Chains A and B, each alone.
Chain A
Amino acid sequence: MAADAGVQVTELGAEDHACLTFGEPEDLFDLTAAFVRDGLAAGLKVVWLSDASPGQAAGELGRRGVAVESAMARGQMTAAGWEGRLLSGPVFRADAAVGWLAGELESCREQGFPGLRVALDMSWALRPVAGVEELPEFEDGIAAALDGSTAAVLCQYDRERFDPVTLASVAGFHTRAVAAATYHADALLRICRQYAPPGIRIAGELDFQAGESLGMALAEAVRLGGDIMINMSALAFVDARCTLMIADAARAIASLSRLVTLRCLPEVAAGFARLGLDGIPGIRLAASGDR
């Protein structure tokens, strides 16, 4: 089945075999955190395979407002490596990997969970692994295993590091294509949705020339509902006009009795404080660490 264009990670459900492409680790962790958060909230069992240790994985999720320690302790959440699951040493075999997934589905049922969510960081396939040519077979096997199940699988591919031919060869096996909604992306500036915690993320250098993209992103942040984070941790510069636009959006959100967090570098925070945003009920100016 061909992948749908552009579905949000928060819209995934049972039987979805989704292909997440990401451009930077921040995207990967953000989208994974949303996938894990929604799965745990629905009472599902959640498994995330990556090269991060369980502690590192919990740390990345925790920083995004998804506390997983208790879920890990009670067996609802597993963060683990690829070894013994997708890989056996430097060897990949599609049938063995599909067998691991079938085993997870079986144990999920036995443990009484209503469903399973699996996130698979696929960067192992960039390593010198024997049998990597069986990757399309593995993706096909996942699709078969999910048919009629209550499980969803999110395969995570780094679009900067995987070659386009490999990405194209596996895309067809997925039912959904997932990526961060992006309002602006060039060498200087990236403005995209943030999923965990909900909001938008602005990185790079922002000035009036990107005012239209910023306006669209801020309008979405107002529409999202609930508490919002405008994550500017990696924003090195913002000009007066865009500072004012962000401040106006923050005031608008706060006036709806919602909490808006502006996370930014101290020098950027000073610009918001100059506009009187410091100390307004509902607006939190949170200085992030050094670049």
Chain B
Amino acid sequence: MTAEGRRQQIGPGGGVPPVGSAPLDQVFDGGSLYALRAAVAAHAAAAGLGRLQVYDVTAVAHELAANAVVHGAGHGRLRLWADGGFLYCQVSDDGPAVPADEAGEAADGAAAWPAEHGHGLWLASEVADDVGIGIGPAGTTATARFPLNPE
């Protein structure tokens, strides 16, 4: 995580896309993860990211969506938007929340989750500039942030 990332952390409720600014807003389930990845890759490339960064954004989007499929409602919604020099990828689902210990570790970016369940979130915390997880009665929202002009 960069120093700048720490200064502007995503809050526990996750970021909120500015009204009317989400260029990608797509629902998904286990059978449409490929289409979701393709859409995220296309939008990340259009936002100006290079090949390796496009792959990283796509990988994180996949892991957050896969968590919703496997550990959450089985389906969810992904939104991708650019704001203030960052690209945000947010996945929400209305299923049961992930266990609190996993969510807590995800929120503060700690490592050492059990591989089977937490490796995707570990990857997200390694690759993204910041990751925020919000859990409420309406479900789980995970938001990852990437700088649009990586050094």
Which residues of A come within 8 Å of B, CB atoms?
A: 188, 205, 207-209, 237, 239-241, 244, 266-267, 270-271, 274
Contacts and interface: CB of A to CB of B under 8 A. Distances in A.
B126 interface: yes
B52 A239 contact: no
Contact of B37 (A237, A267, A271): A237
Contact of A240 (B52, B58, B63): B63
A267 B120 contact: no
A205 B55 CA distance: 12
A106 B41 CA distance: 59
B123 interface: yes
Given A239-B63, A244-B119, A271-B59, A208 B70 contact: yes
Interface residues of B, number: 21
Contacts of B55: 237, 267, 270
B36 to A, nearest CB: 11
Contact of B52 (A237, A270, A274): A270
Given A207-B66, A267-B55, A239 B34 contact: no
B37 A205 contact: yes
Nearest to A237: B37
A112 to B, nearest CB: 55
A119 to B, nearest CB: 36
Q: Which label, helix, strand, loop or mixed, suits the secondary structure of the A interface?
A: helix
Contact of A266 (B37, B52, B58): B52
Nearest to A204: B34
A184 to B, nearest CB: 14
Contacts of B59: 237, 239-240, 271
Interface string B50-64: 011001101100110
Interface string B100-134: 00000000000000011001101100100000000
Contact of B119 (A205, A209, A241): A241
A266 B116 CA distance: 25
Contacts of A266: 52
Contact of B122 (A207, A239, A240, A267): A240
Contacts, number: 43
Given A207-B62, A207-B66, A271-B59, A244 B34 contact: no
A278 to B, nearest CB: 15
Contacts of B37: 205, 237
Nearest to A187: B34
Contacts of B56: 267
A239 B30 contact: no
Contacts of A240: 59, 63, 119-120, 122-123
B33 interface: yes
Given A237-B62, A240-B63, 20 more contacts: A205-B34, A207-B33, A207-B66, A208-B70, A209-B30, A209-B33, A237-B55, A237-B59, A239-B62, A239-B63, A239-B66, A239-B120, A240-B119, A241-B120, A266-B52, A267-B51, A267-B52, A270-B55, A271-B123, A274-B126
Contacts of B62: 207, 237, 239
A2 B62 CA distance: 47
